[in-house]
């Protein structure tokens, strides 16, 4: 298994969800009622597929090896770039969840916060994924030793098998596909 190639593939699912998030947000702009179940399902996908599953591999496996082996340049890229953006994405999801609860409790004005956090997340992740696919991952492939890349591949394969036993990949891809049918036609 090529761990970096797998992470690029996972980005495709995440980008598809970004389109769903944008369409669901646009529905609110058009005056449609918020489908709270769908928005909470989106948050679940982001937290458990994009963050725990995907970012988990990046943060625990790839980025750690990059800092250990490449040193200061990788540390700056990871610590002040990728980790900051991951944390900002988590903030958008936390604020989105809080805004949804406010709307559910009757605060109609909080719809603005639902839209702003959801769309801000899509903008952040679109740029973030582009940086990872075109800069961070290629940098890692050029600078990490073959042995380290092989270790990452082995660790990613073990991680994936554990997640497959819990059906993480299957369940979240099915969720994505059901939301795509609903919001993207």
pLDDT value for 90: 98
Q: For residues 74-109, b (16+ Cβ closer than 10 Å) or e, as one string?
A: beebbeebbeebbeebeebbebbbebbebbeeeeee
pLDDT value for 110: 98
Q: How many domains does the chain fold into? A: 1
First to last CA, the chain: 34
The domain containing residue 60 runs over which residues?
A: 3-184
Tell me the H-state helices in the chain: 3-29, 36-45, 56-57, 63-70, 72-77, 83-104, 111-131, 137-143, 146-165, 168-184
The pTM of this model reads 0.96
Please tell me the number of Cα atoms within 13 Å of 175 on its side-chain side.
22
Whether residue 146 contacts residue 23, with contact meaning beta carbons closer than 8 Å, is answered with no
Whether residue 13 contacts residue 49, with contact meaning beta carbons closer than 8 Å, is answered with yes
Say what percent of the chain tops pLDDT 70: 100
Banded model confidence at residue 141, pLDDT cuts 50, 70, 90:
very high
Task: Give the alpha-carbon dihedral of 174, 178, 184, 185, to 10 degrees.
Answer: 120
| Residue 23: CATH number of its domain | 1.20.120.520
pLDDT value for 123: 98
């Amino acid at each position: 298994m090529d761990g970096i190639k797998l992470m690029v593939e996972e980005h495709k699912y995440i980008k598809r969800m970004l389109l769903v998030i944008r369409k669901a947000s646009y529905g609110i702009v058009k005056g449609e009622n918020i489908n709270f179940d769908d928005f909470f399902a989106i948050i679940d996908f982001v937290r458990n597929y994009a963050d725990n599953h995907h970012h988990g591999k990046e943060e625990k496996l790839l980025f750690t090896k990059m800092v250990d082996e490449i040193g200061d340049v990788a540390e700056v890229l990871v610590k002040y770039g990728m980790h900051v953006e991951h944390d900002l994405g988590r903030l958008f999801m936390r604020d989105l969840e809080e805004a949804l609860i406010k709307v559910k409790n009757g605060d109609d004005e909080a719809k603005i916060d639902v839209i702003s956090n959801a769309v801000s997340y899509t903008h952040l992740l679109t740029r973030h994924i582009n940086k990872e696919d075109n800069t961070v991952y290629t940098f890692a492939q050029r600078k990490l030793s073959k042995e380290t890349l092989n270790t990452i591949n082995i660790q990613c394969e073990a991680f994936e098998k554990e997640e497959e036993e819990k059906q993480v990949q299957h369940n979240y891809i099915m969720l994505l596909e059901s939301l795509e049918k609903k919001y993207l036609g």
